[in-house]
Each structure stands twice: as structure tokens, then as C-alpha cells.
Chains A and B, each alone.
Chain A
Amino acid sequence: GNSVTQMEGPVTLSEEAFLTINCTYTATGYPSLFWYVQYPGEGLQLLLKATKADDKGSNKGFEATYRKETTSFHLEKGSVQVSDSAVYFCALYNQGGKLIFGQGTELSVKP
């Protein structure tokens, strides 16, 4: 079946450090892929998405590229800020019309 696996957190970085959060998936066909962000005490916000192989989603300095050959959708940011501290969820949209989420990766950025 469909599944999403993310690197375990928490990830702790200093401000302006480079961020990578790994995400790999298992799915039938070529699902749409998403990164969501959840700030403390809030719901989820869509951060970026990619709908086909080699697409690059980007938003607020974050990027992720849909890699079909490695079934990955790693999230990257060149210089993180304290305000980026949150939980990040990788997800795919399956053929049944449902979002399948990874377990979430908590990011903590220290000044």
C-alpha cells in the first residue's frame, strides 16, 4: 500500500544553517506529493507541492524536488530562521483521494 517515511526528529539547528528533511514514499503510480507545516498549537498549512516527476515545489525559501527514480521528496532550505521552528509533514495523495502523511519531523531552530 501507499506509505510515507520521514527522517526522525527532532532536528535542532542554529539560525542560518542548512536544512534537509528526508522523505521517501511507496505508492502505486505517480502520486502528487506535498509538504505541510504545523506551527505549535495550530493546524496544518500547505508549504509546497509537486504533481509530477522532476517538478520542484518551492515556497518561503523551502524547496523539494519530486524524484521518481529514488521515490523521494526531500525538503531543503538554505538558511533557516527561528520562525521556521515547527513540525513538518511529508504527504502523498493516493488514488483513493486521501492524503497519506509521514510521521512528522520536528524542527527546532536556535538563535
Chain B
Amino acid sequence: GAVVSQHPSRVICKSGTSVKIECRSLDFQATTMFWYRQFPKKSLMLMATSNEGSKATYEQGVEKDKFLINHASLTLSTLTVTSAHPEDSSFYICSARDQTLSYEQYFGPGTRLTVT
């Protein structure tokens, strides 16, 4: 099946710094990628939809200036958490939609962010 990778898998950063998370589709082209946030023992919350070559669409309540999303190519989207605070600590998961299939999404393994 299709493979989506995320890097890094775990990151610890200090409060006030920024951290970038990469999401790559390894064996297919993804015009659309999605970024989710998952709190412990909770469901996935969609943060934003990332379209290649255009600005991301953010869900209500998600600060676009804090969570910067770039989708510069058909295989790479990045999420940058700017000026991170401890409350930003979470599990971030991306998914990519195969442009040949209208609904199939493939999920990355997730990135555990801890802000100290």
C-alpha cells in the first residue's frame, strides 16, 4: 500500500522555539495533505488541509500564524509550530490523499512533540 512518512518521529523543544515537522508521500503524488492533532486518549482533530501550490485551509479555532503549513511539492508538506509552548505538546499526524483516488487517505506514523 501507499506509504507516508513523517520526520521527526519525536522532538523535544524549548518553549519559545519553533519546530518543523515534515510529511512525505513516498510512492504516490498527493495534491492534498491533511494535518491532525491528537490528544491523549482522544480522537483526531483536523487542523488544516494543505493543497500543493496554494495556501492551506485551516479549521476553525486553529491559529494559522502559529501553525504554518507549506505544501511546496506533490510529495512534501511541512508543519511548523512557531513559538511553541507546553500546551502545544501533542501527537501530530499527517495524511496524504492519492490524487488518483478521490477519498483514500494514507496516514503517517505521527510525530510526538514535547515542549519543555
Tally of chain B residues near chain A (CB < 8 A): 24
Most chain A CB within a 10 A radius of its CB, from B44, B97, B104? B44
Chain B residues positioned under 8 Å from A104 (CB to CB): 41-43
Distance from B5 Cβ to chain A, minimum over Cβ atoms (Å):
10
A contact residues, range:
10 to 19
Partner of B46 from A51, A93, A98, A103 at Cβ < 8 Å: A98
Q: Which residues of A contact B110 (CB under 8 A)?
A: 41-43
Interface of B toward A, CB cutoff 8 Å: 1, 4, 6, 32, 34, 41-44, 46, 49, 93, 95, 97, 102-110, 112
- Given A43-B107, A43-B110, A98-B34, 16 more A-B residue pairs with CB atoms under 8 Å apart are A32-B103, A42-B110, A43-B93, A43-B109, A44-B44, A44-B93, A46-B107, A89-B44, A97-B32, A97-B49, A98-B46, A98-B49, A99-B34, A99-B95, A103-B42, A104-B41
